[in-house]
Amino acid sequence: MKKAVAAVNSLNEPPDFIVFTGDLTHTTDDPKERRRRLAQFKEIVSELKVKDVRFMPGEHDASLDRGEAYQEFFGKTHYTFDHKGVHFIALDNVSDPAGRIGDEQLAWLAADLAKQPRDSRIVVLTHRPLFPLYPQWDWATRDGDKAIELLMPHRNATVFYGHIHQEHHFKTAHIEHHAAKSLIFPQPAPGSVPKRAPVAWDPAQPYRGLGFRQIEAERGEYKLTEFPVVRV
């Protein structure tokens, strides 16, 4: 499993729900193997003690079959839900192998946002960043600017994404974008090395660069707490 975001009421209470922001498995060209891996992941996370667990596909799960196998195990690749006054929108920017959201889904997003008051608290969940963080490494969404444009009228919109295997924070005008660390290998900072590749595993520090995020919603603000992976 690769990335997780836990949404909580308080740092001393169990999470209200957990969101995996994609890449639940690793790429395989074999459809049978893809389904085996998705089934194995589903079995692993079934042991979580949190009642509400949300999933999204990453390109490793969905780009080779446009999300067909993923949907067999986890349902729709894009959807909305509401939780304690926050409207959540899960966008799919991975089922299209070109890394696009696509016109049909953008129209769906526009229709959904049209129902939300301009001061609504909106959280967008996506795999790739919507902004062009580092397109040379596929760290972008080709039509992400169109999604951001749709979000702009909503002054309380925040985006949480995965894909880059590291903590990162960015703003487009008033919209904040946050990525968390990965639960598997870390990736180098964008453009810091000639070629993107996982950071080499160090047996002396096997969990270096790994982690997850806890998010506390309080009085209209989000408090982000990063946790490392540690041996227990």
CA 35 to chain centre: 21
Average model confidence (pLDDT) for the chain? 92
CA 223 to chain centre: 17
| Extents of the domains making up the chain | 5-228
Coil, strand, or helix at residue 179? strand
Task: State the Cα–Cα distance between residues 144 and 128, nearest whole angstrom.
Answer: 9
pLDDT at 87 over 60: yes
Q: How far is CA 145 from CA 114, 165, 212, in A?
A: 18, 22, 27
Superfamily of domain 5-228 in CATH is: Metallo-dependent phosphatases (3.60.21.10)
pTM: 0.91
Q: What pLDDT is recorded for position 13?
A: 65
Coil, strand, or helix at residue 149? helix
Q: Any idea what DSSP says for residue 207?
A: T
Q: What pLDDT is recorded for position 44?
A: 94
